[in-house]
Amino acid sequence: MSDTPAFLDTGRPLVPDLVVPRGVLPFFLPQRPVRGRLVRLGPLADALLTRHDNHPVVTRLVGQAMALAAGLSSALKFRGSFSLQAKGDGPVSMLLADCTDAGEIRGHAITNRGKLDALLETDPNPSAEALLGSGFLAFTVDQGGEQNRHQGIVAIEGGSLAEMALHYFDTSEQLLCQVHLAAEETPSGWRAGALILEKVAGAGGIDPALGDAEQAESWHTATTLAATLTDAELLNDDLPSDQLLYRLFHTEGVAADRARALSFGCRCSRARLASILEGFPTEDLDHMAIGDDIVMTCEFCNYDFRFPRQAVHGTAPAPKGPNPV
């Protein structure tokens, strides 16, 4: 344990010093009103997902959520983070993934093991809908500081996480999109990826001269080609992203934009957690102590921070005044 006072200790637990240089590859189809992002977490997926002892069906869902968050966050035009959160009454009561504008990604899920075991007895490979149950899906853009957060919330609808995201885009953003998500354990470890297509609005399209019918046909062609993508291709480390895009869209003259790196993105520290503890009343801190320490666990990196109880002061109890008449 560090000798530095907790409120000054910005130290973090040991996490993989791992960066995927071309984790997100934006692209567009020249002269077509279509743009997209190819997301491939590579070995970063295994480093993130194996920090939790989840059942593979839950791990798969978290991997898909992180790939989706990484792809959508790359559209940010400012400093901040993009997060997706699903809360439902199913075995996975909460699913959370977020990614910053710098490509720092993290994710985790809260699971009711009893509900999950009961579900797996009847369905060994449950859908995202079965895992999450009824609830809501929220997408949040947080610029930090004094900036207002932008959040959109919709009911969970769709069998897969990709279908749930498309329902959000259709109802909240009125965007025409196509989403392919995949996460599986491969011989090289867990891998996760996403292919996201977006139809650019007519007035802002690559070629404004295209009429509505031509734009609709271009979109149909692009989505038809994207639908040929397999999970195996998306998760294959030996197939470079540029080659995969060419394989899918070479007839449309696909062009890649500047790639973006992804990295292990948990932002916990002793200082941050200590500031939270100091906001608790001393009586609550006494109840939280286990022996001589208070233990706080970062749910993202699954690391226990230990704080000596005597080093955390908390807030003083309010003075007791006379009882009101």
- Count of structural domains, the chain: 2
Local confidence band at 67 (pLDDT 50, 70, 90 cut-offs): very high
Task: Confirm whether 181 is domain-assigned.
Answer: yes
Is residue 40 located within the same domain as residue 96? yes
Is residue 250 located within the same domain as residue 286? no
Task: Please state the φ and ψ torsions of residue 93, each to the nearest 5 degrees.
Answer: -75, -25
Buried b (16+ CB within 10 A) or exposed e, 114-141: ebbeebeeeeeebebbbbbbebebbbbb
Is residue 214 located within the same domain as residue 286? no
pLDDT single digits (tens) 73-113: 987 777 788 999 999 999 999 999 999 988 999 999 999 99
Domain, as residue range, for 279:
269-311
Q: Count the Cβ atoms, other than its own, within 10 Å of residue 71.
A: 25
Is residue 302 located within the same domain as residue 235? no
pLDDT single digits (tens) 9-55: 445 555 566 889 999 999 999 878 899 999 999 999 999 999 889 99
Show the beta-strand stretches assigned E in the chain.
19-28, 34-40, 81-88, 92-100, 104-111, 135-142, 150-155, 177-186, 189-199, 255-256, 260-264, 293-298, 303-308
